[in-house]
């Protein structure tokens, strides 16, 4: 299969690299004031972010070169490792802002939930692909899948990290939905879980307040928990069409909390205006289109679902993050992939893109190949068939 | 590559494939819609509503910092400081920013100011974005903190009004509230003039409220309040207060007041009131004691009002001074109407026959009642009106009363006789003084003045008062006759205790029963004496009024006249009475002056702390040193604040604290006026 290496989706890679490089400038601008005041060095966070970007690029290239079929063999162990790490996080994690979300290994802290998310999605892709024939069977098909989903979701929510848990659960359900799991099973799962999630949601005051404040419709910053989204919108609005210019953000000067992290998109809107935000959205849209295409042309069922899982994860994150910063959605703690400051997301998402790119190398996208009628274009498992041509 | 064993070529039917396709398509559409919503939202916020957000954002980035104007200084007629300002500091905080440091801040404040830590913690937990932690504390506390290290703490320099003479003329001067607005007395009357116009400077600021000057907006300098000179003379004021206090204490009196006026100009020289109040702590006194009763209290004058009767009789040439009257041995029954009802008028000094002049000297109510019958209602009413009774004098002071003078049409059958000796009328102490000043001023009624001049920071006189003649009340010859009568009162009449050796004094006593709940009670009297001196060229009119004497005596002649005498004696011995009332600075270094005067010796207009604000530090130090002052420096750059304030009395070797700021460094200490998120 090595001949296909030359055909990795170059444009997809370019799009992702563009985001990662642009994020350097944006995170620098967004974090400079904060880093100056809290750490005494305005470039401290830029440096840290740049390291993560480099790590991400290395990770990406590693997975581009690693055959996805090798990845397939390790998904189960990766998922078990992820579960173990989530347990460890609960027991000896670093407490930050009221939750234990990080663990430290040799002073490098990272969020196991980011790793767990991809491990789960990868393994679900394996399970869906291998159980297609028995997918309707509750015991043999559905239970094994929902077991892992439930376990990981519960462990993440226990940190407590509601938004991440909800995202993992939602992405898994979407993947299972596309993966032909019986609707009845999915609906039953929701019926059982929704009350539990609802209870969890109202069990912490800040979570409930975020939601009620969001729906109360108070748009100005007068409600304390609305302060951040209100400041975010001010940034977008002040940016207008053309933006206030690179490095000219004022919202980052302690008006907008987390301006470099979950609310970095607002800084994009402020400095680069509508043109900037549309450009970023366009890149994500492009990633979606390329991801769907890779999935469509994927060589086998596993890679097909895996490509979908990776694409959907990144796009949903981007959209939900944008939705939060624009106050379409209540405040969550989700980063914008490849843009926000936050190492774990950057590194793991880059690795996932690496896997996606590796899959793309196994598809034939050149014009001649398209003319070839591939049997069962949706489920072209048998690579050997193609090799006939 | 190897094909994994479980991968078989699956056999799907068409329905399966279509459903599968549909599911993927469903999720795709979901995502496209999501993209669409985000784009629409961006169009809404970044294009359609952008102008609105730009305005709000601008407001958020700009902070309009107040440059408070210094409140004008109050001076007496000779330039002695009555009220000035001192610089204090207030600590506030923005709880939103203090957040993580709240505990540290509370601990530190608790340690320094001694309040429990929870007090500050409670404040710092507030939802507001501006809370006071400590207000108006000494500048020395600034040194205890490294404010820049305490995130969210805001420092604000504030000025506090200082009344240098404590109790001196307390009610007259009045007071300001914590925001430096006049709420009483002169401070209230001239609040607008004293206040000045605050300046401001627009800063760029960040979410931590740190600010730097904005180049886009000009700095508007504050215009300091104008200084006001009063007609009051603190030396006379001190004499009046000292003697009033002594008189009050000797006679066990609740309340008393003294007014001194220059008859020629109508300028009020002193207004003393007992009990005293200290304007530095104005709030702790009762309302009754806060107000200036000389203008805001009405009473029935009693015998001091007899000058109206006498004036009318003489002016209209109806009664000669030596005309004899039957004084009825102190008890006179007047028939009222036709039903044989009688009313009794009594005299304290019983006599059989009295001349008009003797009746004034002995203060006979009976004779005055008889004379009023000769005068008649209209002429009597007009004379009272001409003296200014029944209408406010329109002195520039808040809360002055009109008094009550009924028109003849509203009089009862006995009103004329009663008014002849000072009942059934309501007058303010000020009106009495003005009326006597008219006699001392050759029959010309002057408008009473408290305001001398208003001077702006550059020394230009903005407004100055001029003596204002209201009307000729009585003729020169009537004045001479009245002078003779009133001098007789002091020489041999009811007020011999007001006599002072070597000076001719004229005056009149009054002892009136107080009207309480519509009844005249025998226990409650107002004892008053009003007079002027020297008779040949009157310089001072002085009223002494004692409310409710509880000692052995309650007569104006025995309670108030001695106080008048003591005041007059001191005025004559310690001042050069003929020249001292001109605005020239007179010598105050006379031994007999009270301690309050001693305290003010150094407070000369030419002897005040210079204004070095706005100067470079080097220049400021130089200026202070050449004047024998010791600068204490705080910070570097430009002097922004000095303590004591400019215009404060200067003493050699005095320490002047200078607070300096770098010209472009206003990190702390500015007054945030945007207020949008407080």
CATH code for the domain of B650:
3.30.10.20
Q: Which residue of chain B is at minimal alpha-carbon distance from A304?
A: B24
Contact across the interface for A300 and B677, Cβ inside 8 Å: no
**A219: in domain:** yes
* Residue B601: per-residue pLDDT: 33
**B13: in domain:** no
Residue A349 has pLDDT above 90, yes or no: yes
Closest in B10, B46, B207 to A255, CB measured: B207
Q: Quote the tokens at residue B53.
A: 């957000």
What is d(CA B132, CA B120) in angstroms, rounded to the nearest whole number?
Answer: 9
Closest in B35, B127, B208 to A281, CB measured: B35
Q: How far is B145 from chain A (nearest CA, A)?
A: 19
* Per-residue pLDDT tens digits for B261-271: 999 999 999 99
Which of A69, A186, A237 should be substituted to probe chain B, the one whose Cβ sees the most B Cβ atoms within 10 Å?
A237
Contact across the interface for A326 and B38, Cβ inside 8 Å: yes
Contact across the interface for A238 and B54, Cβ inside 8 Å: yes
State the average pLDDT over residues B548-556.
75
Closest in A227, A253, A328 to B41, CB measured: A328
Contacts of B95 in chain A (CB under 8 A): none
* Per-residue pLDDT tens digits for B644-671: 766 666 666 777 777 766 544 333 333 3
* Residue A107: per-residue pLDDT: 47
**A5: in domain:** no
Whole-number mean pLDDT of chain A?
84
**Count: domains in chain A:** 1
Question: Helices (H), strands (E): how many in chain A?
Answer: 14, 3
Task: Give the domain range for residue B27.
Answer: 23-49
Contacts of A1 in chain B (CB under 8 A): 1
Distances from the Cα of A181 to the Cαs of A72, A172, A328, B49, B477, in angstroms?
20, 11, 30, 44, 124
* Residue A83: per-residue pLDDT: 94
Q: Kindly state whether residues B418 and B553 are assigned to the same domain.
A: yes
* Residue B474: per-residue pLDDT: 95
**B377: in domain:** yes
* Residue A123: per-residue pLDDT: 95
* Residue B214: per-residue pLDDT: 64
pLDDT band at B370 (very low <50, low <70, confident <90, very high): very high
Residue B581 has pLDDT above 60, yes or no: no
Contact across the interface for A376 and B39, Cβ inside 8 Å: no
**A3: in domain:** no
Q: How far is A186 from chain B (nearest CA, A)?
A: 13
ipTM of the complex: 0.89
Task: Give the domain range for residue A155.
Answer: 10-388
Q: How far is A333 from chain B (nearest CA, A)?
A: 18
Provide, rounded to the nearest whole percent, the portion of chain A with pLDDT above 90.
50
Q: Kindly state whether residues B149 and B249 are assigned to the same domain.
A: no
Closest in B39, B60, B206 to A281, CB measured: B39
Q: A48: part of which helix (H) or strand (E)?
A: helix A44-65
pLDDT band at A370 (very low <50, low <70, confident <90, very high): very low
Q: Kindly state whether residues B262 and B354 are assigned to the same domain.
A: yes
Closest in B17, B31, B43 to A315, CB measured: B31
* Residue B448: per-residue pLDDT: 95
Closest in A132, A319, A384 to B34, CB measured: A319
H-type alpha helices, B114-233: 117-124, 170-173, 185-189, 191-195
**A4: in domain:** no
Which of A69, A172, A238 should be substituted to probe chain B, the one whose Cβ sees the most B Cβ atoms within 10 Å?
A238
**A1: in domain:** no
Distances from the Cα of B270 to the Cαs of A48, A389, B143, B235, B292, in angstroms?
77, 119, 43, 9, 12
Token pair 């690299």 is at which residue?
A17
Which of B39, B50, B57 should be substituted to probe chain A, the one whose Cβ sees the most A Cβ atoms within 10 Å?
B57
What is d(CA A129, CA A359) in angstroms, rounded to the nearest whole number?
Answer: 15
Contact across the interface for B46 and A308, Cβ inside 8 Å: no
State the average pLDDT over residues A8-21.
94
* Residue B111: per-residue pLDDT: 86
Contact across the interface for B46 and A37, Cβ inside 8 Å: no
SS3 of residue B222 by DSSP: coil
Q: Which region, left, alpha or beta, applies to residue B561 given φ > 0 means left and ψ of -120 to 50 means alpha? A: alpha
State the average pLDDT over residues B386-402.
91
**A360: in domain:** yes
* Per-residue pLDDT tens digits for A286-344: 999 999 999 998 889 999 999 999 999 999 999 999 999 999 988 888 899 999 997 78
Q: How far is CA B118 from the centre of its chain?
A: 38
What is d(CA A29, CA B347) in angstroms, rounded to the nearest whole number?
Answer: 97
Q: How far is A177 from chain B (nearest CA, A)?
A: 7
Most confident of A204-208, B214-218, B332-336, B529-533: B529-533
pLDDT band at A372 (very low <50, low <70, confident <90, very high): very low
State the average pLDDT over residues B309-324.
93
Whether the link from the prior residue into B105 is cis, omega within 30° of 0, is: no
pLDDT band at A128 (very low <50, low <70, confident <90, very high): very high
* Per-residue pLDDT tens digits for A35-74: 888 888 888 899 999 999 999 999 999 999 999 999 999 9
Distances from the Cα of B539 to the Cαs of B239, B266, B542, B547, in angstroms?
16, 11, 10, 26
Q: Kindly state whether residues B214 and B123 are assigned to the same domain.
A: yes
Q: Are A128 and A305 in contact (CB under 8 A)?
A: yes
Q: Kindly state whether residues B178 and B240 are assigned to the same domain.
A: no
State the average pLDDT over residues B126-152.
78
Closest in B7, B38, B56 to A381, CB measured: B7
Residue B309 has pLDDT above 80, yes or no: yes
Least confident of A7-21, A125-139, B508-522: B508-522
State the average pLDDT over residues B468-494.
93
Q: Which residue of chain A is at minimal alpha-carbon distance from B206?
A: A253
Contacts of A239 in chain B (CB under 8 A): 46, 50
Contact across the interface for B50 and A379, Cβ inside 8 Å: no
DSSP B523: E
Q: Kindly state whether residues B166 and B261 are assigned to the same domain.
A: no
Q: Kindly state whether residues B209 and B274 are assigned to the same domain.
A: no
What is d(CA A133, CA A127) in angstroms, rounded to the nearest whole number?
Answer: 11
Which of B209, B230, B251 is the endpoint of a domain?
B230
Which of B230, B257, B289 is the endpoint of a domain?
B230
SS3 of residue A340 by DSSP: coil
Provide, rounded to the nearest whole percent, the portion of chain B with pLDDT above 90.
37
Higher pLDDT, A46 or B69: A46
Q: Which region, left, alpha or beta, applies to residue B401 given φ > 0 means left and ψ of -120 to 50 means alpha? A: beta
Q: Which residue of chain B is at minimal alpha-carbon distance from A243?
A: B46
Q: Are B61 and B587 in contact (CB under 8 A)?
A: no
Which of B553, B586, B619 is the endpoint of a domain?
B586
Residue A376 has pLDDT above 60, yes or no: no
* Per-residue pLDDT tens digits for B38-52: 999 999 999 999 999
| Closest by CA position to B555, among listed B630, B622, B497 | B497
Residue A221 has pLDDT above 80, yes or no: no
* Per-residue pLDDT tens digits for B80-115: 888 888 878 888 887 777 777 788 888 888 888 888
Q: Which residues partner with B643 through β-bridges?
A: B657
**Count: domains in chain B:** 4
Q: Are A117 and A101 in contact (CB under 8 A)?
A: no
Contact across the interface for B20 and A180, Cβ inside 8 Å: yes
Contact across the interface for A255 and B37, Cβ inside 8 Å: no
* Residue B336: per-residue pLDDT: 76
Contacts of B3 in chain A (CB under 8 A): 382-384
Contacts of A292 in chain B (CB under 8 A): 28
State the average pLDDT over residues A109-130.
90
Q: How far is B13 from chain A (nearest CA, A)?
A: 11
**A365: in domain:** yes
Whole-number mean pLDDT of chain B?
81
What is d(CA B630, CA B652) in angstroms, rounded to the nearest whole number?
Answer: 9
Contact across the interface for A133 and B10, Cβ inside 8 Å: yes
Higher pLDDT, B435 or B139: B435
**B18: in domain:** no
Q: Which residue of chain A is at minimal alpha-carbon distance from B43?
A: A274
Which of B11, B25, B27, B45 should be substituted to probe chain A, the one whose Cβ sees the most A Cβ atoms within 10 Å?
B45
* Per-residue pLDDT tens digits for A156-192: 988 888 888 989 999 999 999 998 888 888 888 888 8
pLDDT band at B506 (very low <50, low <70, confident <90, very high): very high
Q: Which residue of chain B is at minimal alpha-carbon distance from A259?
A: B207
Contact across the interface for A178 and B47, Cβ inside 8 Å: no
Q: How far is A235 from chain B (nearest CA, A)?
A: 8
pLDDT band at B222 (very low <50, low <70, confident <90, very high): confident
Q: Which residue of chain B is at minimal alpha-carbon distance from A222?
A: B677
Q: Kindly state whether residues B552 and B633 are assigned to the same domain.
A: no
Q: Are B486 and B281 in contact (CB under 8 A)?
A: no
Q: Kindly state whether residues B260 and B369 are assigned to the same domain.
A: yes
* Residue B251: per-residue pLDDT: 85
Higher pLDDT, B168 or B244: B244
Q: Kindly state whether residues B159 and B272 are assigned to the same domain.
A: no
Look up the CATH number of the domain holding residue B270: 3.40.710.10
Can you give the pTM of this predicted structure?
0.60
- Which residues does B contribute to its contact with A (CB < 8 Å)? 1, 3-4, 6-7, 9-10, 12, 16-17, 19-21, 23-24, 27-28, 31, 34-35, 37-39, 41-43, 45-47, 49-50, 52-54, 56-57, 60-61, 96-97, 127, 206-208, 677
Q: CA geometry: angle at A235 spanning A231 and A236, to 5°?
A: 120
Q: Kindly state whether residues B559 and B608 are assigned to the same domain.
A: no
What is d(CA A55, CA A350) in angstroms, rounded to the nearest whole number?
Answer: 9
Residue B366 has pLDDT above 80, yes or no: yes
């Amino acid at each position: 299969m090595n001949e296909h290496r030359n055909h990795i989706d170059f444009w997809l890679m370019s799009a992702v690299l563009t985001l990662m490089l642009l994020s350097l400038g944006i995170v620098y601008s967004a974090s400079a004031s904060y880093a100056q005041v809290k750490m005494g060095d305005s470039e401290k966070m830029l440096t840290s972010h740049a390291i993560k970007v480099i790590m991400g690029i290395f990770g990406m290239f590693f997975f581009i070169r690693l055959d996805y079929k090798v990845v397939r063999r390790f998904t189960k162990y990766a998922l078990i490792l992820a579960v173990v790490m989530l347990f460890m996080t609960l027991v000896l994690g670093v407490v930050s802002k009221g939750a234990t979300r990080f663990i430290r290994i040799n002073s490098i802290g990272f969020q196991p939930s980011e790793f767990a998310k991809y491990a789960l999605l990868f393994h679900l892709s394996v399970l869906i692909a291998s159980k297609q024939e028995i997918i309707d069977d509750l015991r043999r098909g559905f239970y094994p899948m929902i077991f892992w989903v439930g376990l990981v979701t519960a462990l993440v929510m226990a940190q407590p990290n509601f938004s991440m848990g909800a995202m993992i659960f939602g992405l898994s359900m979407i993947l299972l939905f596309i993966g032909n799991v019986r609707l009845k099973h999915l609906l039953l799962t929701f019926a059982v879980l929704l009350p539990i999630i609802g209870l969890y949601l109202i069990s912490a005051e800040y979570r409930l307040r975020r939601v009620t404040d969001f729906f109360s419709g108070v748009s100005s910053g007068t409600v304390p928990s609305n302060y951040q989204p209100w400041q975010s919108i001010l940034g977008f609005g002040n940016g207008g069409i053309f933006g206030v210019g690179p490095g000219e953000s004022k919202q980052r000067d302690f008006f907008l909390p987390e301006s470099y992290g979950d609310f970095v998109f607002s800084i994009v809107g402020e400095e680069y205006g509508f043109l900037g935000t549309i450009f970023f959205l366009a890149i994500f849209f492009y990633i979606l289109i390329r991801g769907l295409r890779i999935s469509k042309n994927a060589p086998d069922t596993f890679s097909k679902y895996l490509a979908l899982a990776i694409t959907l994860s990144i796009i949903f994150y981007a959209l939900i993050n944008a939705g939060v910063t624009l106050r379409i959605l209540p405040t969550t703690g989700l980063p914008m992939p490849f843009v926000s400051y936050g190492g774990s997301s950057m590194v793991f998402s880059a690795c996932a893109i690496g896997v996606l790119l590796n899959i793309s190398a196994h598809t034939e996208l050149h014009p001649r190949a398209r003319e070839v009628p591939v049997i069962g274009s949706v489920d072209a498992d048998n690579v050997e068939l193609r090799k006939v041509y | 590559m190897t094909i994994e064993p479980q991968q078989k070529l699956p056999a799907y039917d068409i329905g399966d494939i279509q459903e599968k396709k549909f599911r993927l398509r469903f999720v795709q559409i979901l995502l496209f819609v999501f993209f669409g919503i985000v784009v629409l939202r961006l169009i809404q916020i970044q294009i359609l509503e952008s102008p609105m957000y730009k305005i709000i954002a601008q407001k958020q980035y700009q902070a309009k910092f107040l440059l408070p104007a210094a409140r004008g200084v109050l001076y007496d007629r000779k330039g002695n400081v009555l009220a000035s300002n001192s610089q204090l500091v207030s600590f506030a905080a923005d709880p939103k920013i203090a957040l993580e440091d709240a505990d540290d801040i509370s601990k530190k404040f608790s340690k320094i100011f001694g309040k429990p830590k929870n007090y500050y913690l409670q404040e710092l937990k507030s939802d507001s974005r501006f809370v006071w932690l400590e207000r108006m504390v000494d500048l020395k506390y600034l040194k205890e903190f490294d404010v820049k290290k305490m995130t969210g703490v805001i420092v604000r320099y504030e000025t506090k009004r200082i009344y240098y003479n404590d109790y001196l003329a307390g009610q007259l001067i009045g007071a300001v509230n914590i925001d430096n607005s006049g709420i009483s007395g002169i401070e209230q009357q001239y609040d607008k003039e004293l206040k000045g116009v605050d300046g401001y400077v627009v800063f760029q600021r960040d979410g931590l409220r740190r600010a730097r000057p904005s180049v886009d907006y000009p700095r508007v300098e504050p215009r300091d309040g104008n200084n006001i000179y009063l007609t009051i003379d603190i030396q006379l004021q001190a004499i009046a207060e000292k003697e009033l206090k002594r008189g009050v204490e000797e006679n066990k009196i609740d309340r008393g007041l003294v007014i001194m006026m220059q008859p020629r100009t109508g300028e009020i020289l002193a207004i003393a009131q007992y009990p005293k109040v200290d304007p530095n702590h104005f709030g702790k006194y009762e309302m009754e004691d806060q107000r200036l009763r000389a203008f805001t209290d009405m009473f029935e004058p009693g015998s001091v009002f007899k000058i109206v009767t006498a004036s009318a009789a003489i002016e209209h040439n109806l009664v000669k001074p030596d005309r004899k009257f039957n004084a009825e041995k102190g008890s006179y029954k007047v028939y009222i109407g036709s039903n044989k009802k009688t009313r009794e008028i009594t005299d304290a000094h019983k006599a059989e026959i009295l001349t008009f002049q003797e009746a004034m000297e002995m203060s006979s109510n009976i004779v005055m009642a008889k004379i009023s019958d000769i005068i008649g209602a209209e002429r009597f009413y007009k004379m009272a009106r001409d003296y200014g009774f029944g209408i406010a004098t329109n002195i520039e002071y808040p809360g002055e009363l009109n008094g009550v003078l009924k028109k003849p049409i509203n009089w009862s059958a006995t009103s004329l006789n009663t008014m002849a000796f000072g009942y059934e009328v309501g007058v303010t102490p000020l009106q009495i003084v003005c009326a006597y000043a008219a006699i001392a001023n050759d029959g010309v009624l002057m408008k009473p003045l408290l305001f001398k001049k208003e001077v702006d920071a550059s020394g230009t006189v903005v407004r100055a008062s001029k003596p204002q003649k209201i009307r000729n009340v009585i003729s020169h010859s009537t004045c001479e006759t009245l002078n003779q009568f009133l001098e007789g009162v002091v020489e041999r009449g009811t007020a011999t205790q007001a006599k002072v050796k070597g000076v001719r004094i004229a005056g009149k006593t009054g002892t009136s029963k107080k009207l309480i709940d519509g009844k005249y009670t025998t226990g409650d009297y107002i004892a008053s004496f009003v007079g002027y001196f020297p008779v040949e060229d009157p310089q001072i009119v002085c009223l002494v009024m004692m409310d409710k004497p509880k000692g052995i005596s309650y007569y104006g002649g025995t309670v108030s006249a001695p106080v008048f005498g003591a005041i007059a004696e001191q005025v004559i011995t310690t001042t050069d009475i003929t020249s001292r009332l001109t605005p020239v600075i007179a010598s105050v270094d006379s031994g007999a002056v009270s301690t309050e005067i001693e305290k003010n010796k150094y407070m000369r207009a030419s002897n005040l702390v210079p204004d070095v604000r706005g100067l470079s530090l080097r220049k400021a130090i130089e200026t202070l040193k050449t004047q024998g002052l010791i600068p204490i420096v705080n910070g570097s750059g430009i002097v922004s604040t000095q303590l004591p304030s400019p215009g404060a009395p200067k003493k050699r070797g005095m320490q002047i604290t200078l607070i300096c700021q770098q010209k472009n460094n206003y990190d702390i200490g500015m007054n945030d006026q945007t207020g949008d998120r407080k």
